Amino acid sequence: MAGQKTLPTTADPDAFLAAVTPDRRREDARRIDALLRAITGQTPVIWGPSMVGYGQIDYRYASGRSGIWPPLAFAPRRAALVLSLMDDLRNHQASLAALGSPRTGVGCIYLPRLPEDLAPLRTMCETAWLRSGVGGTGGG
């Protein structure tokens, strides 16, 4: 079995965010970073080449596969900001609907543009963070 590919790095998250292009995506990345820092009280860590993660948990699937992963993370891709929750998205149907039912993956939400109102994202992220068992909210 191959080892986990995406792991924490020592890359500077502020430098990473400053280099995000285009400008609109960089603005969205800074907004979601501020939200996730406030929720978690954590300084982000760059995972792999392009994921900004908050906190770290150990996981183990029924298959026996295990590893570490951030309970909350995002990747500022060119086409969309990808928000990753280590939480079943079925727990967040009302918030997803409030966002206009964006495209989703297994644990990811693809946002071509962050909405002005971040309340639905805040609700999802706070819930996912608390369910992760990493700690309480950062209070922001």
- pTM for the predicted model, two decimal places: 0.90
pLDDT tens digit at each of 140 positions of the chain: 567 889 999 999 999 999 999 999 999 999 999 999 999 999 999 999 999 999 999 988 888 888 999 999 999 998 999 999 988 888 899 999 999 889 999 889 999 999 999 999 999 999 999 999 886 555 44
In a domain, 8, yes or no: no
Residue 59: strand, helix, or coil: strand
In a domain, 135, yes or no: no
Reference 29, options 95, 137, 111, 140; nearest CA is 111
Alpha helices in the chain (DSSP H): 13-18, 23-40, 93-98, 119-132
* Residue 22 structural domain: 13-127
Pairwise CA distance, residues 137 & 2, whole Å = 34
Give the total number of structural domains in the chain: 1
Name 66's Cβ contacts closer than 8 Å, sequence gap at least 6: 58, 59, 60
**CATH classification of the domain holding 18:** 3.90.1150.200
